[in-house]
Amino acid sequence: MIDVEDLIALVHNYNPRANADLIRRAYAYGFLMHDGQLRKSGEPYFTHPVAVAAILTEQHLDDATIVTALLHDTIEDTKSTYTEVARQFGQEVAELVDGVTKLTNLQLSSAESKQAENFRKLFMAMSRDLRVILVKLADRLHNMRTIRSMAPEKQAQKARETMEIYAPLAGRMGMQWMREELEDLSFKVLNPEARNSIIRRFITLQREAGDVVHKITADIHTELEKARIEADVYGRAKKPYSIWRKMQEKNLAFSRLSDIYGFRIITADVADCYRILGAIHQRWRAVPGRFKDYISQPKSNGYRSIHTTVSGRDGKRVEVQIRTRQMHEVAEAGVAAHWSYREGVRAQNPFAVDLAKWIASVTDRLDAEDNTDFLENVKLEMFTDQVFCFSPKGDVIQLPRGATPLDYAYAIHTRIGNSCVSAKIDGIRVPLWTRLKNGQSVEIITAEGQRPQASWIDIVTTGRAKAAIRRSLREEDRGRFVKLGQELARVAFDHVGRKVTDKALRTAAKMLGVSDENDLLARLGSAEITARRVVETLYPELAMSKAEEVDAKRPIVGLTADQNFRRADCCQPVPGERIVGITYPKRGVIVHAIDCAALEEFEEQPGRWVDLHWHAGRHAAVHTISLEITISNDTGVLGRVCTLIGEQRANISDLQFTERKPDFYRLIIDVDLRDVEHLHMVMTALEAESDVAQVSRYRDVTRKP
């Protein structure tokens, strides 16, 4: 484990003004909180936060981020609290640690709708403070580096999650080195035979051809000396996963794969970049279609570089990247360059991306209508490379690779996309499904009265275009769906003895997160929302009255007649949530929510797990859960909160204040509920109260079951 003084030295290398005392205190606090905890490998747990902090020093990050790395697991895994971290290390650090904790609790590889909602939370966290994501990526990188100590099935699950989510996210943020390492570490877990095969072939190739990297590096140096250009040249073989992906994409054997070596030339200024390009192309033949100028057309994450592929020594294809030193700093750090320090001050790199604009570009293009669309759009945005096309006026439009003229039209404006009838590429009329290429000029032809066609969904590739087309198609049938929705609502309300009113529909729309009553009726008519769900949302008592009453003493299916059970205090599961049981010799079965963090300690004891689920029907309001609420410190607020809970037919069984400030109180309220829908009703009512700043479910993994 890295000693605290060594860690401070790593920070002082790029930030001599760093607050060494703050880092020492955070190191000591983290060490104390994690004392006695061990990783799966048997090492002290605190070695992990220290390693994460060390990874972040490589990106020259600020003191708050380094301290957050040291403390990032304290709120989740120890007796430490948000309040304690804020008191000792300040509000900024506490917010960052809390943000990392919330991201850690996201189950990103779960069911699709839940995964989409968690992606939303991930991007929300990114928009609030990018450093939360930087710490999380470093956390995942170290976990992947030490993954061998985990059970094989857990390794596979984490590797898939890394390959699908964290590696593409690192790439989207411009941290290509991290993306490559995360991909290769995942590849090592998911397909070790293929990776080992590529490594063996590399060894054979080097034995037969000698040190190709050294030879080509020497050749490039010779050409630069002739042109009297000063530059540093670095060469390397590409990562095994990068080679494997090219083999799969191009359906080629290793022996036929040519550009497996990459070279980077770093020089002083932009003019030298183009002089170097000329020298390289004079010495070696350029491969057609393999030239990209990201200096004149930077990527959205700030990346700038010239890429060219040439036929080098012995006809071997090699990729060459040419950039300045400042461009290289951004290429290594990506959007994290915004936080980088040099000699004690925030680095002022003219090529660093504008952080606010970058976050807006990511989140704006993920404006989808529902969870399915959102998840699809996130993956489209993160996994695709870019192509650059020109408008007739010479403006540059960035699109994902594989985009069509329709994507281009919607990228300009939704109105242009909706009214598109045809397109011209470089002056020639083409079908709307044509795939765009770098450097093409695109002209969109529109007509009044044109409306999006259902077939367009399969033509476009961008999330923005897909969402706009779906929205337009839905609006086209809106009138018909609204009429059908009115009839469905009338029948459902009559069934429970109530009348459909505008006020009832407005209330239901608000509770279901729909914009207004007409949108609710349209969704009813299109079968996106059921009438039964609307009635149950407004009148749960009436909707449940016809359901069978569940015995409060035996509300769970899966237990034997002689087995006692108790809900776990750490996660407090309620009917409607997926559950699992853990057997104890003397205490019977403890029932946990399926996503409870406390279950990790039982992963190696499958014999103690019991498959359980709740009885269907109407449950009694006897299931206690804890809510953490932040309220204004004002007259009558607490009374209104208690009244709101009572109005939802929920009983308060305990209440305790955890923080008292001049302007707000934070408290934990224990509430007795029927099920997860009842919980949702209570939280919705509280969130609607203007004096309630925040309400969330309180789960404490330190509570022993």
| Residues labelled catalytic | 76-77
Q: How many CA atoms lie within 13 A of 302 on its CB side?
A: 28
- Residue 504's region, left for phi above 0, alpha for psi from -120 to 50, else beta, is alpha
Whose tokens are 């709101």? That residue is 644
Query: In whole angstroms, what is the distance from residue 574 CA to residue 609 CA?
Result: 19
Query: In whole angstroms, what is the distance from residue 454 CA to residue 473 CA?
Result: 7
Give the distance from CA 299 to its chain's centroid. Answer: 20
Max Cα-Cα span within the chain: 91
CA angle 565, 570, 571 (to 5 degrees): 80
Tokens of 666: 């934070």
Element (H, E) at 392: none
Query: In whole angstroms, what is the distance from residue 434 CA to residue 442 CA?
Result: 11
Q: Which residues lie closer than 8 Å to 451 by C-beta, 6 or more apart?
A: 418, 472, 476
Phi, psi of 471 (to 5 degrees): -65, -40
CA angle 624, 638, 507 (to 5 degrees): 75
Phi, psi of 459 (to 5 degrees): -90, -45
3-state DSSP assignment of residue 345: strand
Burial class (CB in 10 A: 0-12, 13-18, 19+), 91: exposed
Dihedral sign (CA 464, 466, 471, 476): positive
Query: In whole angstroms, what is the distance from residue 107 CA to residue 122 CA?
Result: 11
Q: Which residues lie closer than 8 Å to 126 by C-beta, 6 or more apart?
A: 132, 133, 359, 362, 363
Whose tokens are 């208690």? That residue is 642
Q: How many CB atoms lie within 10 A of CB 199?
A: 13
Dihedral sign (CA 182, 187, 192, 195): negative
Q: Which residue type, as a one-letter code, is found at position 9? A: A
